[in-house]
Structure 1
Amino acid sequence: MTDYTSFDVAHLGNVELFTPKFDESLFFFRDLLAMRVVAEEGDSVYLRTWDEYELYTIKLTAKKDAAGVGRTNVRASSQEALERRVAAIEQTGLGSGWTDGEVGTGPTYLFRDPDGHELGIYYETERYVAGEDDRPALKNQASMFPGRGVNARRLDHINFLGKDVEANGAFLRDALGMRESERIRLDNGKFAAWWFHFGLKSYDIVYSDDWTKHGNRLHHIAFAPDTREDILKAADIFLENGIHIESGPHKHAINQTFFLYVWEPGGNRIEFANAGARLLLDPDQPVVEWSEEERKKGQAWGMKTIESFHTHGTPVV
């Protein structure tokens, strides 16, 4: 039985994104989000958000035919926790084995969820050391506040599309020791979406129903700026730079995050969300379940969920 008062996984580590428009996508992350390029290897660049303590946040990889998600890595809270999680993953039969880490991360155990999304878990990591050009005034920051663009502070969460929300969610719970926070139950009894968290945040990984039943697709990744005003300003920045704004700024009913959704030039959906998100301090926090009728009411302030939010994912099918 999982002990939900502690977590073997500390946080979401990093995510690989595929893009068929590499230069345009690089401009989006590097220039508009104020992320720093820390390494380049082959067809990939590694970028970090300004207050990321590890070396990188996003691995951006050129892919000619389609956008989408590559490997998503999570960091274990200790070497012992890593070993426990690897043992649990192997019991599911979905483990792939060990590989060397990438750009500052140590040995990584690879596995897949029931839907086919590639995942990895590691513990050893290298902390980012700021240089003369990005040394912060405050020593408890990883690097200088960039003061330009969206100023994305950290990676917040990832939302996968899944053929079977229940199977994928149960896998997260059992293999990684994640805890549920909220879910949507349809009138037919199935889950339309399921939110999970590693620690005190209200969610880190989400599964949403993939209406295409294609498998192994991305709904979105989310970055956290500091305030609602940052998200409002981000909308103006994207407007000026021809970035497709899909939905928001607005407030979610589920988990109460203030949000903005855009499509980066390669086609991947990117969210900016943070301000107002709940912290789950109660170790016995009950799961919040929403009905199909309740979700028809839309977001917190009444805006209806737009159609493309249910149909668009990457790769596009």
Structure 2
Amino acid sequence: MFSAGSEPAGSEPAGLDPAGSHPAGLDPAWIRDAVARALDEDLGAAPGRDVTTQATISPDAAGVAHLVARSGGVVAGLPIVAEVLAQVAERLGRPDVVVRLLVADGASVAAGAVLGALSGPVQVVLVAERTLLNFVGRASGVATHTRRWADALAGSGAMVLDTRKTTPGLRALEKYAVRCGGGTNKRMGLFDVAMVKDNHVVAAGSVAAAVEAVRARFPDVLVQVEADRLDQALEAVAAGARFLLLDNMSTPLLAEVVAAVRAGEPATGRVELEATGNLTLDRAREVAATGVDYLSVGALTHSSPTLDIALDLLA
């Protein structure tokens, strides 16, 4: 529901006007498709309808609304706002809403900050409200959570990575939000990086057999190997793996494995090491101090709370 704003009707804050742009690395075609699916969920099959708004708001009514952060955090997903509004306007046969964004994705904002101003047909704004807030709130929540990890690791030499534990259909958005928050993307899916885990080793017969099988079938991809013991890590390096996932290890064991792998690097070459599993913000610095290159945190995407963002129609 809209609440009354503090500015007079028709007013708009001055600021950026990137409404026609898309976030770097987020495919505009993906945005269009994701928005269309989301609107179908809310309105029914295109063109769909909003029985409340279309019954109570004149098609000719125009106004201004502000996109407002109710909680402080890191913003992400704002350029999707214009796409949602454009598709709603097309479905309703109404003029486009003018979008003026006042902050950029990746910016830290305080509670109460106005993120953007929307001016145009009120019907379009109200119909689009929940869909655009869902996208921006979800992305901003992931970015905000990621920033906490990035800040915790600042200066340590280690980076925080995301995982594939994403919301189905929203992986591109959530991984983009991780980048907005200062994190780094790992693999996008099963297609771009091979990750040999315990079940693959069981099926193949050994770590070496699994690594060799991947390299024979897909020689162009990076091979990563999961290990939860020192002997497994050394076996993986001996098999040719140059990226290890050190899974659910205590801090002392991590330090031992890192030291052993680093000691062998004059012969093997650089091996990238990732700590994963059982990681918390309280442990971030001590885990980074073991010398790992990365901490992968599934919670960035599977457990980030949505950032509270609202749309206020100005009275």
User: TM-score with structure 2 length normalisation?
Assistant: 0.22
Higher RCO, Cα 8 Å, sep 6+: 2
Higher strand content, 1 or 2: 1
Q: TM-score, normalized by length of structure 1?
A: 0.22
Q: Which has the larger radius of gyration?
A: 2
